[in-house]
Structures are given as structure tokens and as C-alpha cells.
Amino acid sequence: AQTVTQSQPEMSVQEAETVTLSCTYDTSESNYYLFWYKQPPSRQMILVIRQEAYKQQNATENRFSVNFQKAAKSFSLKISDSQLGDTAMYFCAFMNTGNQFYFGTGTSLTVIP
């Protein structure tokens, strides 16, 4: 079975600074997808960024980027130039070849003005 671990329940960052959220996963599969979802106070789950395991290049989406280390099974999210609107729960997720998703327990990020 796949597991996803987020070891940082809560984090904070000053506005305009950079923060990195950690995620590790466990799988025996070689082909899979990884995601970071954001859940603001509105409760809506919003996709932030995705990474395909067969791609070595780290995904980037504007201020969001990942550090994907396949051998270490690590998938961290870096948020640059943090904004107040980045305050949210962030969930790391793994999708296997059967299209089943597994989510981590989340990291609550607070951006401090």
C-alpha cells in the first residue's frame, strides 16, 4: 500500500519570504503522479502543482516549485515570495497507476504580514 507522510503539521512564514513544505511517500511502483493541493478556509481543494514520476525535471507553476527526489521518495513544495492568500492547508497526494489517490495529513501554513 502507498503511504504519504507530511511531517510538519504547522508552519509559518513572513510575507514575501520563501517556505518549503515537506512530503515523503512510500511505493513499490515506478510510474505514478504526485500532487500538491491547497485548501484555504473556504474548504475548496485547489490543485497547486503536479509532477509525473517519469519526468526528471522539477515542476514549476509561477511562485510554486517542487523538489522531486525519486530515489529518496521525497516531494517538497517551495513557495517563493509568500503572499497572504497562500495561507491554507497544503496536502501532498500520490496517485498510482490504478488512478487511486492517497493524501498526506496536511500542513497548515500561515503567512504573517
Quote the cell numbers at residue 31: 510510474
Told to check if 103 binds another protein by CB under 8 A, we report yes
Told to check if 9 binds another protein by CB under 8 A, we report yes
Of 66-95, binders to another protein (CB under 8 A) are 91, 93, 95
Minimum CB separation of residue 24 from another protein in Å reads 14
Which of 8, 22, 24, 33 is the binder for another protein (CB under 8 A)? 33
| Pairs from 84-87 (Cβ < 8 Å, separation ≥ 24) | 84/15, 84/111, 84/113, 85/40, 85/111, 86/38, 86/111, 87/40, 87/41, 87/111
Told to check if 60 binds another protein by CB under 8 A, we report no
